[in-house]
Structure formats: structure tokens, C-alpha cells
């Protein structure tokens, strides 16, 4: 016997045990939470968490199976606090594969929280799920179903659909209800699999267990939404659903399902929702449910939230299906009761429902107008938002005056977020229903005063258009505007509500009108009626005002552009102040902003050297034509047949802008809906036309000045020869600056392309090549916001084949207002002359909602790479 | 569909977060933060609905919340859910928690966040309502706890043994063993 060997072995064993004992047991979850809670600063907490994470990582590396469960539990807690925990994904899968229920439970919980279908690791769980779905222990199956229902991907759905179908027929209700929701998830991901579940789903309706009924009804609702065939099929089951509902209504008190005196409100709501889907546009099915809906609507106890929840669903169903007229009256009356309910939640859903029903039953909603308008004063922002939306839908010819009064009151005190939306919508409503142009102008002026800088450009466009059209009112308008801006100027004593710097849109409108129609102001022809006050301004008054705007650093760039334009226009109207005008202009010939500098120079030339051209260049703009269709009552003739509701769509903004550009659009916008593509074309086309008049290459975008193209166009339009003229005039001067480089075409007519037009964003590429270096291509990309809402954080990324080099320059701006655009330059060096392709990624936020999209551009003209 | 269920306290500390739609970890934290800011600004006497939490999606989404003592329970849902129904669901969730923890308070949620998740998984699954019968939920939770307890009896033995050994703290005990002072003992030996 080799005693030495035995002693060695014993030593070894003891050593191992001592080693094992030395490695500390991991902290318990409870202790970790205590430690984290006792951390006094964020840094301390981070230190505790980092230490623990490092430890957990090391145990994962050591394949320590004994404490895996505890470590994952800790990791999930850390994850909830917002620290990265993705390194635990694989360990969750290991736990899931364990035999113990405790491990599985934590493992599946971790899988649900940490995994998602976008990660490859996700498919690894499929096998464990399959095994557990076939397990005999109900809770193991339950865990697997729950996980599958939360994270199933299309592939997993296909792989496991047959198991789910089998479990749908299980004798255990606990499993059946979970399987139904799994089936729901699977058909959401893979609609083709619906067929497979149909037979098993049908039997779910005969179920006694409420949990299974709820999930079964959910599943059927989704199926009906997805496929018209299934919908037709399940229409036959309407009587079954009616019976379920009837049983719930008639059933006495059952402690299991009772929620404050009502038997299973959740199931009732689900069934009512399904009935709505089934009865929509089908009079026969609707007929079958009329009675029960009437019963629900009359018999439900409404002292508690639950009762109202059911009533609310019933009303929605009544409104959606082809119900009796008497039933509808009942529904609208219930909504009327909701609207004066003291519970804010009920008021909110009443407004919400009225919004949906206003298209169905206009007069019924109209009856509640006063109550709705009163909700505008509610302290709750959610209710205000709904009420505002509804108020705009309720405006018509007969109530426009009174509604405008209410809305103006609201506008004055509203939050900024409401002000721009509200003012834009008001402009649309005025356009449709204004009784007289004078009233129209007066309310627009009030809107400009009330909403200040939150007014969007479409409002400005609307006012300018109105003034330009109403020839007899122009004097009055310019007088009123003069008064309005003068009262706001800081150096004026008296009424100073807000400084002019917070009312830039008003200043812009005033500037434009003074420029165009300043002669009325000089002559004092500012009266419309007898009792109007006569407003007169002297040349020096006006000049002083313009100068104060131009020199103030609180004026926005656009305002200054308007002001300098007005100055130019006035130079033909004034007799004495010409030197002063020239002096101001000269100041701007060295301005840092290219646009202002250019204008300053051009106009100085006209005023001094080339004054013979002046009167032609600064001629008065012709009246802008509108499509008369959206002026139903502009001439005072009411058209009672027209009861169309004012549609609140951004589409109109484009129209008014277009109109502003003096382009008569043949399609009356209120009648015909332009689809977005067409709109985009329309919006780019006129700009091109405009530029064609400027002697540029047709494919060139405007000379790269200013970010605000539509406004630029607006400013240019009266003086369209100016640009071309001035580039020639100043060609030799130092003033040519970048302008020449930009405007002189480098070479070749490569046709432009529209590279991308989705999500309300259009990317138009125009190309130019320098003859001296044919390998280099410069692309000027115009990013246009063709949808509604502001775009912020615009980011354009592009990738090209390896043999091509790509250089991106920053865009002129990363925020784009609706229907405006920014530019970004791209330089491409393609020495090997391979075909140019580009993979692009566009990401931006529209009104704060992030949107990302990718695409590939393959339609580059051959000339771009050959 | 329910897109997310968030529970946080009056200071915005998350106590439970469950997303039924994929968001990156950073995004999830941002959503929690933004939701807290939106919800905590509101008075108690306004309605329980909020529209347009910008992060979680467009106008179709609503935040429906209830405020209990120190905790906010926020459900983010799309238009396919009944607003008032969800309010009741929150009530059911909270009452179930109350039954499970016997007078639930914030501390229960902190120290038993896994259990809260298990309860939630019996109530809502994959963003859809699964079961609203509190008794049923309670029974299932208790049954599963029993299964875990049984397992702990059998297979937790080795783990318990190791921690027991560890608690004995052998190195210290070896040090603590008092052996007689040998040289002295030898001296004391009388032959």
C-alpha cells in the first residue's frame, strides 16, 4: 500500500474543499438591494453596481452553475435600474435548460426582459421552449407559453405553431388561455398560420372559464381584423357572443368575477369590442346585437368606473355598427351625460368618442358645442387637447364668429405647443367660413398678435394672400398692421404687451404690406368704413421703424429679409428719404449673412447707379390668385349644400404657399385630395420654374442661399430679374463671393433624380461635374419635408461601393419646417468609373417621434459615373 | 395592446419595468424618465390619461396611470384597448399585489421585484390581458411557490452545506483553537 499516494490524494481533496470554502458565496439579492439603497449618491450606487456586475461576469466566466439563478436575479434588478445587462442573455438560456423549476422561472423571466427578436441569440431558446411546451408539468408549460407570447419571432412562430395548436385543445384551462394568447402573437407575426388555429379557436367560444373566454375573444378579434374571410366566418358566432353577454348581465353575484358590483367587466368589454368588429358594415349581424346593446346601455350601473367603462364600449359599438336610429339617439345621449360628468376621465372619453362620431352624426355632436368649448378652459392639458381638436371640427358658417371669439381667448393663454397648431387651424377655418374679407383680416391680425412667434409660416402666407387679393381693403390692412407693430415697438410708450421680437411673424406681414402698399399709409387712405380711424405715417416714421427692425439683433433673419425687401420696394414710392434708404442698404452690403448682403448690394445699385431700372424691378406684385373652392362664403353667398367638415390637413398649407408663389393650381384643394407624391412634385416644380426664369441651369437648385426656400422664392418673386441682373452687375466685384462659384454651372446637364420619397421626406439629388476633373461628381441634395410636422435631428448617412470615395458636408440645417427644405452637399470621387450606387440611411424626428429608414439608390443617371 | 407597464415612485426611481415591444436599454430608461416627467407634473384632480409620450410612439398611444401613495402605475397602451378598462386592470393588479404581500408597500416591490414580475405574468401576457380573476391569480402564484419550496428542500442541500461550512469560517477557527503552550508543557513535564 502506497501510503504517500493516499496522503497526497487526501491533501488534494482537502485543498479543493478549502479553496471552495474560501471563494465567498455571492451576495444575496436582498443584500445587494440593501447596499444599493444605502448608497447616498449616484456615483456610490454606480460603484456598488459596477463591482457586483464585475463579480457576476466573473462567475459567468467560471461556469458557476450553483449560483447562476441568484446572479441572474441580481442582474435583472440591476437591469431595471438602467445598467447594461445584456451579458446575462446566454446565462438565461442555460437556466432555462435546467431541470429545476426555480431556475427555469428566473431563466424565462430573464429571457423575456433581456432578449428580443432582433438578436441572433434569440433563436437558441426555441429548442428549450419546444421541450418545455411538451412537458407534463403545467407550470413549466405555462412559463414557456408566457415567454413565447412575449418574445416570439416569425421563425419561432413557424417552428412552434403546431405545439400551440395542440395546447389550445388542452384540457387544462390554465394552459388553454395562455396558448390562445400565444396563437395571437403568432398570427400577428405570421398571418399565414391563421388557418391552422381556426378550428381550435372556434371551440374557445363555448368555454366556461372566463380567462379562456377573454383570451379567446382577443384572438378572434385579431383574426377578424386580419382577414375578411375569417370575419365573415365569425359573423355567424354573433349569437354566441350575445349569449355570453346576456349571461353576464343576468348572472347574479359571483364572487370570483365581481368587480365593484359588475360581473367580469373585462370580458364584457372584450365581447363588446368583438361585436363592434363583427357588426361593422353588416346589417344582418348588427340586427342580431341591437337588443343586447340596448340592454347594456340601459341596465349598466354607472356609479363606478367599471360601469362607465362598459357603457363607453357599448356606445362605441352602437356608433360603429349599423344600429337603429333610436339606439343611436340613446348612444349620443349617454355621451352627453358623460360630457357633464364630474369625473375627468369620463369627460375625456366623452370628448374622444365625440371626435369619432362627429363624422357620423354631426348635428348630434353640435348640440354639445357649448360644453365642448367650455372644456377648452379645463386645467387638464389632455382634455384641452381633445376639446381643441373637436372645436375645429365643429366650426361652420353659422357659428364661425362666436367660435373664433372663444378660440382667440384660448389662443392668448394657451401653451406654446397649442399656439402654432391652433393658429394654423384657425387660418384654415377662416379661409373656409369667413363672412367678409374685412372680418377675415381682423381675426388674422388677432391671431398674429396672440400667438406671436409660435405662428407657422402658413399663417403668414394666408394673411399675405388675403391682403393681396382684397384690393379694396389694402389701405385698411396696411394701416391696421402699422398700428399693430407700432404699438408693440419697445420705444413706443403706451400699450406694450409683448416686444416685437416675440412677434416676428406679425412684423414680417407688416413689412411685406408696407413695402407693397406703403403709399396708402403715406396718403392716409386707411379707412374702410366711415367710423374707421385715419392712420397716417410719414416717410421718416416708416424708415425709422424699418431701420429699427433691421438693426435690432432680436429680429430674426427672415424678418430682416422681409424688411430689406420692403425698403427696396419703398424706394420707388418715397420722394425724400432716398439717401437714408441708400445709407441703410449700404450697411448691409457687408453683412455676414449672404442673403442680406446680396440684397443690400443689389438694392444699393438700383437706388444709386441704376435708378432707371428701379421702378420696373420694384413693381407692385400682381394679386395672388386663390382657388376659390375653399372660399365658400367669401363673397357672402352661403352654400347650404356644402356641409363638408373642415378637414384639418397639412395639405392645405402647401396650397396656400403655392398660391403665394403666384402659381394657379388648377385643382381646387378642398375638393381633391392630392396624394403626397403629387404634392411633392407640385412643390418642387414651381420652384424650378422660378429658377428657370433666373437664367440658371434648370437642374441647379437656387444659389444655395438661405435655408428657407419658399420664403426666398417669396421675396424674389417681385424682383425675379434682380438676381440674374445683379450677378451680372456685380460679377466683377468682390461681392460675387461664393455666389459666382455657386451659380455658374460647372458643366454638363445631368438630370436630377428623386432618390427617396417616403415618410414625408423627399431627397432630390442634382448633379454637377467639373469638366477639368471628370472623376469628381458633386451632388447637391435637397431634403424636403413633405409631410406635416417639424422635422428635427435630420441625419442622412450614405455608403458607396469601396472603389468610390464619398465626402459628406454638413447640411444647412438639421431641422426642417413642413414643406421646406435644407441642402446638403456630397462629393464623390469615382476614379475607376464603376457604376454608382448608394445605400442610404435617413433618420430624423418628426414632432419628436424618431423615424429611421434605409434604402438603396440604383437609378443614378449614367452620366454621373461615366 | 399594452406596450409597456412601468411602476416608479414619486422620485422617478423605477420599481418595475416591463416592455412588450422592443426598445434598447437606453431607450427604455429614456422612456421611463420621460414618462415620469409627464406623469409627475400632473395634479391629482386631473384625468388619468395622457397622450403623446413622444418616445413610445405617435398619437395612437396613450399613457394611462394611477397614483397610489408613493407609487405611480403607468400602462402605455395603443388604441385597441379601452381606456377605462385599463384603469380597472391597474386596480386589479394593485389589489392582487396587496393580497400577495398583505398590505403592499413600496418596500415589498423593491425587495421582491421577481415576485411582482411573476404576478404580472399571470395577469398580462405579451401585452394582452390574460386573467382578471384575482383568486385564480393568487392560487397559481401560491402553487408555483410551493413547487419552488419543494425543490429547495431537495436540491438546495449542497448549496446550504457549502454556505454552512463557509459560515464556520475554518481558518479563523483553526487560529482560535487553543493548543497548550508546548515548550512550557515540556518544561512542566516531570520525569
Question: For residue A815, what pLDDT is reported?
Answer: 82
Report whether A808 contacts A765 (CB < 8 A). no
The CB-side HSE value for A109 (13 A sphere, CA atoms) comes to: 28
Please indicate if any CB of chain B lies within 8 Å of the CB of A377: no
Using DSSP's 3-state secondary structure scheme, residue B71 falls into: strand
pLDDT in tens, A278-288: 988 888 888 88
Min mean pLDDT across A488-502, A510-524, A552-566 is at: A488-502
Question: For residue A678, what pLDDT is reported?
Answer: 41
Question: For residue B171, what pLDDT is reported?
Answer: 65
Question: For residue A773, what pLDDT is reported?
Answer: 73
- Asked if A105's CB is within 8 angstroms of B148's CB, the reply is yes
Domain range summary for chain A, segments of one domain joined by +: 324-422, 436-617, 640-708+745-864
Ordered DSSP codes for A603-661: HHHHHTTTHHHHHHHTPPPPPPP--GGG-TTTTS---TT--PPPP--THHHHHHHHHHT
- Asked if A313's CB is within 8 angstroms of B165's CB, the reply is no
- Asked if B58's CB is within 8 angstroms of A849's CB, the reply is yes
pLDDT in tens, A466-513: 888 887 888 888 888 888 877 654 444 444 456 777 788 888 888 888
Average pLDDT, chain A: 77
Is the predicted pLDDT of residue A807 greater than 70, yes or no?
yes
Report whether B155 contacts A98 (CB < 8 A). no
The average pLDDT across A780-803 equals 81
Task: Name the fold adopted by A640-708+745-864.
Answer: Immunoglobulin-like (2.60.40)
The average pLDDT across A299-311 equals 82
Q: Give the predicted TM-score (pTM) of the model.
A: 0.66
C-alpha cell at A151: 418574445
Min mean pLDDT across A56-60, A361-365, A596-600, A852-856 is at: A361-365
Is the predicted pLDDT of residue A683 greater than 60, yes or no?
no
Residue A848 or residue B143, greater confidence:
B143
Residue A338 or residue A526, greater confidence:
A338
- pLDDT band at residue A689 under the 50/70/90 scheme: very low
Pairs across A and B, CB distance < 8 A: 184
Picking from B22, B46, B125, the nearest residue to A178 by CB comes out as: B125
The average pLDDT across A360-365 equals 77
The β-bridge partners of A792 are A845
Min mean pLDDT across A69-78, A636-645, A840-849 is at: A636-645
pLDDT in tens, A113-151: 888 766 677 778 888 899 999 988 889 999 999 999 988
CATH of region A436-617? 1.25.10
Which candidate, A192, A212, A193, A196, places its Cα nearest to that of A204? A212
Is the predicted pLDDT of residue A647 greater than 60, yes or no?
no
Question: For residue A673, what pLDDT is reported?
Answer: 39
| CA torsion through residues A845, A846, A848, A851, sign | negative
Sequence-separated (6 or more) residues with CB below 8 Å from residue A409: none
Percent of chain A with pLDDT over 90: 8
Put simply, the chain A residues between 166 and 195 with a CB less than 8 A from any chain B CB are 174, 177-178, 181-182, 184-185
Question: For residue A21, what pLDDT is reported?
Answer: 58
Compare all CA atoms of chain A with the CA of B57 and give the residue at the minimum distance: A849
d(CA A385, CA B36): 20
d(CA A520, CA A528): 12
Please indicate if any CB of chain B lies within 8 Å of the CB of A25: yes
Report whether B87 contacts B66 (CB < 8 A). yes
pLDDT in tens, A742-788: 333 344 567 788 888 887 888 888 888 776 677 788 888 888 888 77
- pLDDT band at residue A833 under the 50/70/90 scheme: confident
Is the predicted pLDDT of residue A662 greater than 60, yes or no?
no
Report whether A295 contacts A249 (CB < 8 A). yes
- Asked if B57's CB is within 8 angstroms of A265's CB, the reply is no
Which residues of chain A neighbour B43 with C-beta distances below 8 Å? Answer: 379
Nearest Cα of chain A lies from the Cα of B182 at a distance, in angstroms, of: 26
Is the predicted pLDDT of residue A376 greater than 50, yes or no?
yes
The β-bridge partners of A857 are A838
Is the predicted pLDDT of residue A296 greater than 70, yes or no?
yes
Put simply, the chain A residues between 88 and 107 with a CB less than 8 A from any chain B CB are 100-102, 105-106
Which residues of chain B neighbour A37 with C-beta distances below 8 Å? Answer: 110
d(CA A270, CA B75): 18
pLDDT in tens, A537-547: 788 888 888 88
Report whether B15 contacts B106 (CB < 8 A). yes
Ordered DSSP codes for A143-190: HHHHHHHHH--HHHHHHHHHHHHHHHT-S-HHHHHHHHHHHHHHHHH-
- Asked if B47's CB is within 8 angstroms of A348's CB, the reply is yes
Q: Which residues of chain B, if any, have pLDDT below 70?
A: 52-59, 153-186, 188-191
Is the predicted pLDDT of residue A246 greater than 70, yes or no?
yes
Is the predicted pLDDT of residue A731 greater than 50, yes or no?
no
- Asked if B47's CB is within 8 angstroms of A344's CB, the reply is yes
- Asked if A383's CB is within 8 angstroms of B125's CB, the reply is no
Is the predicted pLDDT of residue A705 greater than 50, yes or no?
no
ipTM, interface predicted TM-score of the complex: 0.81
Compare all CA atoms of chain B with the CA of A221 and give the residue at the minimum distance: B80
Question: For residue A109, what pLDDT is reported?
Answer: 92
Amino acid at each position: 500500500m502506497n501510503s504517500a499516494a493516499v496522503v497526497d490524494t487526501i491533501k488534494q481533496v482537502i485543498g479543493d474543499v478549502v479553496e471552495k470554502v474560501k471563494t465567498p458565496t455571492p451576495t444575496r439579492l436582498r443584500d445587494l438591494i440593501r447596499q444599493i439603497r444605502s448608497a447616498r449618491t449616484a456615483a456610490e450606487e454606480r460603484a456598488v453596481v459596477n463591482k457586483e456586475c464585475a463579480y457576476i461576469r466573473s462567475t459567468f466566466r467560471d461556469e458557476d452553475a450553483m449560483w447562476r439563478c441568484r446572479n441572474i436575479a441580481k442582474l435583472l434588478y440591476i437591469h431595471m435600474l438602467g445598467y447594461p445587462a445584456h451579458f446575462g442573455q446566454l446565462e438565461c438560456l442555460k437556466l432555462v435548460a435546467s431541470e429545476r423549476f426555480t431556475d427555469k422561472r428566473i431563466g424565462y423571466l430573464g429571457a423575456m426582459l433581456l432578449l428580443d427578436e432582433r438578436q441572433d441569440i434569440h433563436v437558441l431558446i426555441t429548442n428549450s421552449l419546444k421541450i418545455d411546451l411538451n412537458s407534463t408539468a403545467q407550470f413549466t408549460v405555462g412559463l414557456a407559453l408566457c415567454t413565447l407570447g412575449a418574445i416570439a419571432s416569425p421563425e419561432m412562430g413557424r417552428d412552434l405553431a403546431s405545439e400551440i395548436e395542440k395546447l389550445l385543445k388542452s384540457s387544462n384551462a390554465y394552459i388553454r388561455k395562455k396558448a390562445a394568447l400565444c396563437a395571437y402573437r403568432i398570427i400577428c407575426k405570421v398571418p399565414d398560420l391563421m388557418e391552422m388555429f381556426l378550428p381550435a379557436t372556434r371551440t374557445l367560444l363555448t368555454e366556461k372559464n372566463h380567462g379562456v373566454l377573454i383570451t379567446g375573444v382577443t384572438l378572434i378579434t385579431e383574426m377578424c381584423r386580419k382577414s375578411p374571410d375569417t370575419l365573415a366566418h365569425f359573423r355567424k358566432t354573433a349569437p354566441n357572443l350575445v349569449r355570453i353577454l346576456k349571461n353576464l348581465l343576468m348572472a347574479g353575484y359571483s364572487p370570483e368575477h365581481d368587480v365593484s358590483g359588475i360581473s367580469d367587466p373585462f370580458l364584457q368589454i372584450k365581447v363588446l369590442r368583438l361585436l363592434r368588429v363583427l357588426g361593422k358594415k353588416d346589417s344582418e349581424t348588427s340586427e342580431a346585437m341591437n337588443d343586447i346593446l340596448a340592454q347594456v346601455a340601459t341596465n349598466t350601473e354607472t356609479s363606478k368606473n367599471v360601469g362607465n367603462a362598459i357603457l363607453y364600449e357599448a356606445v362605441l359599438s352602437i356608433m360603429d355598427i349599423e344600429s337603429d336610429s333610436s339606439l343611436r339617439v340613446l348612444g349620443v345621449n349617454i355621451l352627453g351625460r358623460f360630457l357633464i360628468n364630474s369625473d375627468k376621465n369620463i369627460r375625456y372619453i366623452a370628448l374622444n368618442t365625440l371626435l369619432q362620431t362627429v363624422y357620423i352624426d354631426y348635428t348630434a355632436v353640435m348640440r354639445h358645442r357649448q360644453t365642448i368649448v367650455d372644456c377648452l378652459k379645463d386645467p387638464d392639458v389632455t382634455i384641452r387637447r381633445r376639446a381643441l381638436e373637436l372645436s375645429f371640427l365643429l366650426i361652420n358658417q353659422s357659428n364661425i364668429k362666436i367660435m373664433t371669439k372663444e378660440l382667440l381667448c384660448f389662443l392668448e393663454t394657451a401653451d406654446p405647443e397649442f399656439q402654432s397648431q391652433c393658429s394654423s387651424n384657425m387660418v384654415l377655418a377662416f379661409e373656409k367660413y369667413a363672412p367678409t374679407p374685412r372680418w377675415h383680416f381682423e381675426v388674422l391680425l388677432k391671431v398674429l398678435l396672440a400667438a406671436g412667434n409660435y405662428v407657422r409660416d402658413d399663417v403668414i402666407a394666408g394673411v399675405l394672400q388675403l391682403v393681396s387679393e382684397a384690393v379694396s381693403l389694402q389701405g385698411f390692412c396696411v394701416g391696421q398692421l402699422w398700428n399693430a407693430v407700432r404699438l408693440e415697438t419697445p420705444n413706443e410708450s403706451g400699450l406694450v404687451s409683448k416686444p416685437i421680437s416675440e412677434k416676428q411673424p406679425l412684423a414680417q406681414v407688416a413689412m411685406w404690406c408696407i413695402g407693397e402698399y406703403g403709399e396708402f399709409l403715406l396718403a392716409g387712405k386707411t379707412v374702410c368704413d366711415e367710423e374707421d380711424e385715419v392712420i397716417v405715417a410719414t416717410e421718416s416714421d416708416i424708415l425709422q421703424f424699418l431701420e429699427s427692425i433691421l438693426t435690432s439683433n432680436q429680429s430674426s433673419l427672415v424678418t430682416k429679409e422681409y424688411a430689406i425687401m420692403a425698403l427696396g420696394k419703398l424706394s420707388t414710392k418715397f420722394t425724400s428719404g432716398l439717401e437714408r434708404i441708400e445709407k441703410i442698404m449700404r450697411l448691409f452690403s457687408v453683412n455676414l449673412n449672404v442673403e442680406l448682403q446680396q440684397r443690400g448690394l443689389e438694392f444699393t445699385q438700383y437706388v444709386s447707379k441704376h435708378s432707371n431700372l428701379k421702378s420696373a424691378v420694384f413693381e407692385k406684385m400682381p394679386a395672388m390668385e386663390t382657388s376659390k373652392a375653399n372660399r365658400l362664403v367669401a363673397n357672402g353667398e352661403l352654400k347650404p349644400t356644402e356641409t363638408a367638415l373642415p378637414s384639418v390637413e397639412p395639405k392645405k398649407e402647401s396650397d396656400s404657399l403655392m398660391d403665394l408663389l403666384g402659381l394657379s393650381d388648377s385643382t381646387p384643394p378642398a375638393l381633391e385630395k392630392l396624394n403626397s407624391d403629387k404634392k411633392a412634385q407640385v412643390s418642387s416644380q414651381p420652384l424650378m420654374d422660378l429658377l428657370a426664369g433666373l437664367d440658371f441651369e434648370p437642374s441647379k437648385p437656387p444659389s444655395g442661399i438661405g435655408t428657407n426656400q419658399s420664403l426666398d422664392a417669396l421675396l424674389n418673386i417681385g424682383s425675379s430679374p434682380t438676381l440674374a441682373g445683379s450677378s451680372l452687375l456685380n460679377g466683377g466685384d468682390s461681392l460675387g463671393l461664393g455666389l459666382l462659384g455657386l451659380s455658374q454651372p460647372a458643366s454638363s446637364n445631368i438630370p436630377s433624380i428623386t432618390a427617396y420619397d417616403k415618410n414625408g421626406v423627399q431627397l432630390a439629388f442634382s448633379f454637377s461635374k467639373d469638366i477639368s476633373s471628370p472623376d469628381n461628381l458633386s451632388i447637391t441634395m435637397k431634403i424636403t419635408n413633405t409631410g406635416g410636422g417639424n422635422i428635427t435631428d435630420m441625419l442622412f448617412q450614405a455608403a458607396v461601393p469601396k472603389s468610390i470615395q464619398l465626402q459628406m458636408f454638413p447640411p444647412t440645417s438639421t431641422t426642417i419646417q413642413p414643406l421646406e427644405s435644407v441642402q446638403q452637399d456630397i462629393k464623390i470621387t469615382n476614379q475607376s468609373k464603376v457604376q454608382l450606387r448608394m445605400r442610404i440611411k435617413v433618420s430624423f424626428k418628426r414632432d419628436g417621434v424618431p423615424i429611421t429608414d434605409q434604402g438603396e439608390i440604383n437609378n443614378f443617371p449614367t452620366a454621373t459615373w461615366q | 395592446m399594452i406596450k409597456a407597464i412601468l411602476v416608479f415612485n414619486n422620485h422617478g426611481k423605477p420599481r418595475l419595468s416591463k416592455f412588450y415591444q422592443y426598445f434598447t436599454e437606453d431607450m427604455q430608461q429614456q422612456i421611463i424618465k420621460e414618462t415620469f416627467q409627464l406623469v409627475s407634473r400632473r395634479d391629482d384632480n386631473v384625468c388619468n390619461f395622457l397622450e403623446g409620450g413622444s418616445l413610445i410612439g405617435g398619437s395612437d398611444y396613450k399613457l394611462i396611470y394611477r397614483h397610489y401613495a408613493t407609487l405611480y402605475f403607468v400602462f402605455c397602451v395603443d388604441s385597441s384597448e379601452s381606456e377605462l378598462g385599463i384603469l380597472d386592470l391597474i386596480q386589479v393588479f394593485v389589489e392582487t399585489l396587496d393580497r400577495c404581500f398583505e398590505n403592499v408597500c413600496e418596500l415589498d416591490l423593491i425587495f421582491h421585484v421577481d415576485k411582482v414580475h411573476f404576478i404580472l405574468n399571470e395577469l398580462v401576457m405579451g401585452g394582452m390581458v390574460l386573467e382578471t380573476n384575482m383568486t385564480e391569480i393568487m392560487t397559481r402564484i401560491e402553487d408555483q411557490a410551493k413547487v419552488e419550496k419543494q425543490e429547495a428542500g431537495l436540491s438546495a442541500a449542497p448549496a446550504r452545506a457549502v454556505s454552512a461550512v463557509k459560515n464556520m469560517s475554518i481558518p479563523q477557527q483553526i487560529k482560535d483553537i487553543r493548543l497548550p503552550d508546548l515548550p512550557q508543557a515540556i518544561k512542566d513535564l516531570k520525569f
